[in-house]
Amino acid sequence: MPPFETLTRTRGDDAIDWISFRVPGHRLNVLTPQAVADLAAVLDEIDAEAAAGAPPRAIVLTADAGCGFFAGADLDRLGGLLAAAATDRGSVLEATTAGRTVFNRLSSRPWASVAVVDGVCLGGGLELALACDLRLAVDGPQTSFGAPEVKLGLIPGWGGTVRLPRLIGPGPTMEFAGSGESVSATRAASLGIVDACVSREQIHASLHSVLESAARDGLIGTRRAQMAGTVAMDSAERGFLEATATALILSRTAGLLPAPLKLLETVLAGSALPAADAAMLESAAFAELAAGPQPRALLHVFQVAERNKRDDGLTAAASGDTAEAPVVVTHAGVVGAGIMGAGIVARHLRSQIPVTVVDASAEALSRQLPAILEEASWNREQRQSDPQAAMLLAGHLRSSTSLAALASAQLVIESVVERLDAKRAVLCELERVVASDAILATNTSTNPIARLAEPLQDPTRFCGFHFFNPVKRMKLVEIVRGPKSSDRAIATAVAHGKRLGKLPIVVRDSPGFLVNRVLMPYLHESIELLREGVSMRRIDAAARRFGMPLGPIELYDMIGLDTAFYAGLVLHEAYGDRLEAAPVLPAMVKAGRLGCKSGGGFYRYAANGRVLEPDPASEKLVSTYAEEPLGGEPLRDLEAIANRLVLPMVLEACRALDEELVRDPCDIDLGVIFGLGFPAFRGGLLAWADSLGADEILRRLEPLAPLGPRMLPTERLTKLARDGATFHHRPSSAVVSH
C-alpha cells in the first residue's frame, strides 16, 4: 500500500501500532476528508494483518510534534456542508454518519485503542479521542480539550453528544460542551475525559501501565458496554438538569441562540436511548442546526478572526520580504496606573512580557500594584487568583515614578488622562528618555494621532494603541496609523497586540477611529427615538432582541453621559451633517445625571449598580426636547426600532470603507463584534447587511429618508444594489442571518 498522505504507522517490538498524524498544509492538524479517509485505510490495513495472524496488542492515535492532536474539523469542508445544508440536509446526515462510522471502528476490535493527546484536542478531534477506549494527555499549557461547536451555532456531530454523557455524565457534559470553552489537561482528567495526565517523557511508560491495568481489570470491555448502552438517570434528576441548564442557557443567550438548547435536548434524549439510536438523533439535530442561518454567520466570524491572526497590519504592497520586521518586545512600558493603564500592565504580565509601569503618583502605584498582580494571576478554572503565579509574575513587573525607568523599553504605551496637553507632555519626555529606535504609542480613544504627534521629533515611530475597557475582557485593540507612522511602528504594534492575546485591527487616523465612529450613530439614534416618544425600555428591548449585549440607553449610562457628551462633540465637529448635537445629553450632564457612576442617568440604579427603573426626572427632561415622530406616531414595533438603530451604523461603515479608514470589510465586522458586542450570530455589521442584500437595505432606508443625511444611502450602497454585489464580494447567501 502506498504511503498515507496525512499519517504514518509504525509497529514496535511490543506489538503496539502507533498512528501519528501530520496533515499537510495546516499548522495544526485538522480532520480533513483525506485524514478521515487515511484513518479508515490504515484501520483496513490493520484488520487485514490481524486476519493473517498478526493482530496488534493495541493501537495508539497521536500526532507529530508541534501539530497538536486535532484542532477540529476542516473548516473548508464545514463551510461547504453549511452552504448545502439549507437545501440538502441529506448531505449533512451522510457526512456525520460516514465520519462516525470510521470512528466507531476504533472500539469495535479485540485490541484496545488509545489516544495520546499532546496539544489541542478540539471539536472533531475530541470526538476522535472519545472514540478510543482510553485517553492519555500530556500535562502542560499546550494541551487543551474542548467542544466549541456551540460557538459555531452547532453541536458535536461525530458522536460527542453520545459518548460524553456516557463517559462523564449528562450534567458535566452540558457544563463542558454547553460553554464551548476549552479546559486544561488536568481539568479534563478531573472531569473524567482523560484517563491519565502525564509528562511527555512518561508517555510510553504510562501507556504500558494503563494498558496492563485495563487488561487486568477488564476496563475495556466494561467501558465499551457502558458506551453502547443508556445513561442511568431518574426522572427527578433529568427534570432538575433540564430546568437548571435551560435557565442558565437562557440567561446567557436570551433565547437568541438555538444551539445550546438543541445540545441540551439532544444530550437528554440521547442518554435515554442505546448509543446507536442516540447517534442517529445527534445527526438529525446537527443537520437541523446546519440548515439554519447562524452557523454560516458564526463560521464567517471565526474565519475573520483567523484571518486577523495572519495579518501583519500592513498593506499588501508593504508586506512580504521587503517589509521591515517588527520589533520583538522583551521589555514594555506603560505610563499611567489608572484603570486602563493597570489593565494594560496586567495583560502584559499575563502574557509573560516584562513590563515597567510609571505613574507620577507613588500612592496610585502602591494602590494598583496588588490589583494588577491579582488580575494577571487569575485562574479561570479555579475562579480565583493564584498566589504562586502572582509571586512569579511579580518578577516581571517593575514600577517607578520616573520616566527614566523606561529607558530600555522597546515599546512604551502612554495611558494618561484624555487631555491633549497632558499626553503631549508625556510623549515628548518619553522621546527624550527611550532609545532612538523604540516605538511610542498612545492609548487614546478621542485624541487625533496627528495632533499628538505634532511636537515629536520623530513621529514615524508613533502610533495609536487603543485598548477597550475592561482590558481583561475586550479582545479588540485599534492600532491607529497616523499620517507619519512608519510600517515598522505599525507592524510592531500589531505583532505586540497579538502577543497580548488581542485582535488588532489597523485603522487610519480619523475622529472616533473605527469603533467609536460606528457606535455613535447607534447611540445618537436612540436619543432621537427618545425625543420622538419611544420609551427607553422599548428602545433597549429592541436592541437586546437584535442581539446587542446592552441597549443604547443602558450603554449611555454605563459609559457615563459626560464622557459620551464630550466624545460626541468631537464626532459632531467632524460629521455634524449626520450627527447633530442633540440638546438632551448636555442637559443631563448639567443636571448632574451622569449615569451609573452618579447613581442615576436615564435610569435609576441601586447601590450595587442594578437597574431599578427609568428615572421620572430624566423622562421629564427628555420630554422638554420632544420632537414630532416620523409618521405621526412613536414606533412600537421592535424590528422597526432596531432598524432605526442599526441601519445608520451600516451607512457609517460604508463611509469608513470609502475613506479607506480600514483595509478590508472584515476589519469592520471584527471591530464591531469584539469592540462593541455586535451579535456574532449575525456575522458582523457588514455580514448582516450582506445577508439582507443591498436592495433590502435600501428598501428599509427609503421611509427613513425624511430624517435627513444620516439615513440617506451612500453611493457605495447604491452601486452594490445595482450590481447585485456584496460588501464581502461573495454571494449574499454565504452569510444569512436576518
Contact 711, 665 (CB under 8 A): no
Count of domains forming the chain:
3
Cα 479 from Cα 509, distance rounded (Å)? 9
The C-alpha cell 489608572 sits at: 338
Cα 143 from Cα 137, distance rounded (Å)? 7
Is the predicted pLDDT of residue 294 greater than 80, yes or no? yes
Which of 92-96, 119-123, 280-284, 552-556 has the weakest average pLDDT? 92-96
- The whole-number pLDDT of residue 295 equals 94
Cα 667 from Cα 304, distance rounded (Å)? 8
Q: How confident is the model at residue 381 (pLDDT cuts 50, 70, 90)?
A: confident
Together in a domain, 67 and 206: yes
- Let me know if residue 313 belongs to a domain: no
Which residue, 449, 475, 508, sits at the end of a domain? Answer: 508
User: Average pLDDT in the 676-690 region?
Assistant: 96
Q: What element of type H or E holds 530? A: helix 515-531
Cα 136 from Cα 114, distance rounded (Å)? 7
Instruction: Report which DSSP code applies to 193.
Output: S
Is the predicted pLDDT of residue 78 greater than 70, yes or no? yes
| Number of other CB atoms surrounding residue 37 within 10 Å | 15
Report CA Rg, the chain: 28
Q: How confident is the model at residue 732 (pLDDT cuts 50, 70, 90)?
A: very low
- Let me know if residue 1 belongs to a domain: no
- Helix, strand or coil, per DSSP, at residue 413: strand
- Let me know if residue 310 belongs to a domain: no
CATH number of the domain to which 652 belongs: 1.10.1040.50
Q: How confident is the model at residue 418 (pLDDT cuts 50, 70, 90)?
A: confident
CA–centroid distance for 669 within its chain: 12
Together in a domain, 392 and 276: no
User: Average pLDDT in the 424-441 region?
Assistant: 95
CA-based nearest residue to 521, from 725, 712, 721, 298: 712
Question: SS3 letters for 63-110?
Answer: ECCCCCCECCECHHHHHHHHHHHCCCHHHHHHHHHHHHHHHHHHHCCC
CA distances to 442, 510, 566 from 571, in Å: 19, 10, 9
Q: What element of type H or E holds 420? A: helix 420-433
CATH number of the domain to which 117 belongs: 3.90.226.10
Instruction: Report which DSSP code applies to 418.
Output: S
Contact 37, 75 (CB under 8 A): no
Non-local CB neighbours of 141 within 8 Å, separated by 6+ positions:
184
User: Average pLDDT in the 17-44 region?
Assistant: 95
CA–centroid distance for 701 within its chain: 31
Together in a domain, 629 and 714: yes
- Let me know if residue 181 belongs to a domain: yes
Cα 63 from Cα 3, distance rounded (Å)? 16
Contact 214, 220 (CB under 8 A): yes
Cell triple for residue 323? Answer: 517589509
- The whole-number pLDDT of residue 77 equals 86
Residue 706: Cβ-neighbour burial (10 angstroms; 0-12, 13-18, 19+): exposed
Length of the chain: 738
Model pLDDT for residues 142-181, shown as the tens digit of each residue: 999 999 999 999 999 999 999 999 999 999 999 999 999 9
Cell triple for residue 386? Answer: 493564584
Cα 438 from Cα 451, distance rounded (Å)? 20
Which residue, 292, 317, 347, sits at the end of a domain? Answer: 292
Angle of helix 219-228 relative to helix 203-217, nearest 10 degrees, comes to: 80
Q: How confident is the model at residue 2 (pLDDT cuts 50, 70, 90)?
A: low
- Helix, strand or coil, per DSSP, at residue 611: strand
Together in a domain, 392 and 535: no
- The whole-number pLDDT of residue 1 equals 53
User: Average pLDDT in the 500-516 region?
Assistant: 94
Cα 103 from Cα 536, distance rounded (Å)? 54
Together in a domain, 475 and 591: no
Cell triple for residue 575? Answer: 460629521
Q: How confident is the model at residue 393 (pLDDT cuts 50, 70, 90)?
A: confident
Which residue, 471, 487, 508, sits at the end of a domain? Answer: 508
- Let me know if residue 583 belongs to a domain: yes
Cα 462 from Cα 356, distance rounded (Å)? 19
- Amino acid identity of residue 137, one-letter, is A
pTM of the full structure:
0.88
Together in a domain, 176 and 263: yes
- Let me know if residue 307 belongs to a domain: no
CATH number of the domain to which 420 belongs: 3.40.50.720
Question: SS3 letters for 109-173?
Answer: CCCEEEEEECCEEECHHHHHHHHCCEEEEECCCCCEEECHHHHHCCCCCCCHHHHHHHHHCHHHH
Together in a domain, 400 and 471: yes
Cell triple for residue 310? Answer: 495572519
What is the DSSP pairing of strand 144-146 with strand 183-184?
A: antiparallel
Together in a domain, 451 and 529: no
Q: What is the mean pLDDT of the chain?
A: 91
Q: Specify which residues 113 forms β-bridges with.
A: 59
Domain that holds residue 391: 332-508
Helices (H), 447-501: 449-453, 487-499
Together in a domain, 26 and 130: yes
Together in a domain, 481 and 552: no
The C-alpha cell 428615572 sits at: 615
Cell triple for residue 311? Answer: 495579518
Together in a domain, 262 and 339: no
Q: Specify which residues 614 forms β-bridges with.
A: 603
Question: SS3 letters for 3-14?
Answer: CCCCEEEEECCC
- Let me know if residue 309 belongs to a domain: no
- Let me know if residue 303 belongs to a domain: no
Is the predicted pLDDT of residue 735 greater than 80, yes or no? no
Together in a domain, 626 and 488: no
